[in-house]
Amino acid sequence: MAAEILDGRALSKTIAGEVAEQAAAFKEAHGWAPGIAVVQVGEDPASEWYVRQIKRSFDRAGMVFAPHTLPADAQADTLVGLLNELNHDDRTNGIIVQMPLPDHLPQELVTDNLAPAKDVDGIHPISAGRLMQGATDYFAPATPAGGMEMLKRYGIELKGKRAVMVGRSNIVGRPMAMLMLHQHATVTICHSRTIDLGARCREADILVAAIGRAKMITGDMIKPGAVVIDFGVNVVGDGIVGDVDTEAAMEVAGYLTPVPGGTGPMTNIMLMLNTLEAARRQAKG
Residues 6+ apart with CB under 8 A from 256: 3, 4, 5, 6, 227, 228, 230, 244, 246, 249, 250, 262
Q: Tell me, what's the pLDDT at 1?
A: 64
Cα separation, 130 vs 111, in Å, equals 15
Our CA dihedral for 80, 134, 22, 58, rounded to 10 degrees, sits at 40
Q: Tell me, what's the pLDDT at 273?
A: 97
Task: Say how many C-beta atoms besides its own lie within 10 A of residue 59's C-beta.
Answer: 11
Q: Look up residue 195 and give its DSSP letter.
A: T
- Is omega for the bond preceding 175 within 30 degrees of 0, making it cis? no
Q: What φ, ψ does residue 39 adopt, rounded to 5°?
A: -105, 130
**Cβ contact 226:232 at 8 Å:** no
Distances (CA, A) of 265 to 98, 173, 253: 18, 18, 21
Residue ranges in the chain modelled with pLDDT below 50: none
pLDDT digits (tens, 9 = 90+) for 35-78: 999 999 998 877 888 899 899 999 999 999 999 999 999 999 99
Q: Look up residue 66 and give its DSSP letter.
A: E
Q: Tell me, what's the pLDDT at 47?
A: 81
Domains of the chain: 31-115 (3.40.50.10860), 142-264 (3.40.50.720)
CB-based burial label for 206 (10 Å; 0-12, 13-18, 19+): buried
**Cβ contact 36:68 at 8 Å:** no
pLDDT digits (tens, 9 = 90+) for 255-277: 999 999 999 999 999 999 999 99
Cα separation, 212 vs 215, in Å, equals 9
For the chain, the straight-line distance linking the first and the last C-alpha, in angstroms and rounded, comes to 53
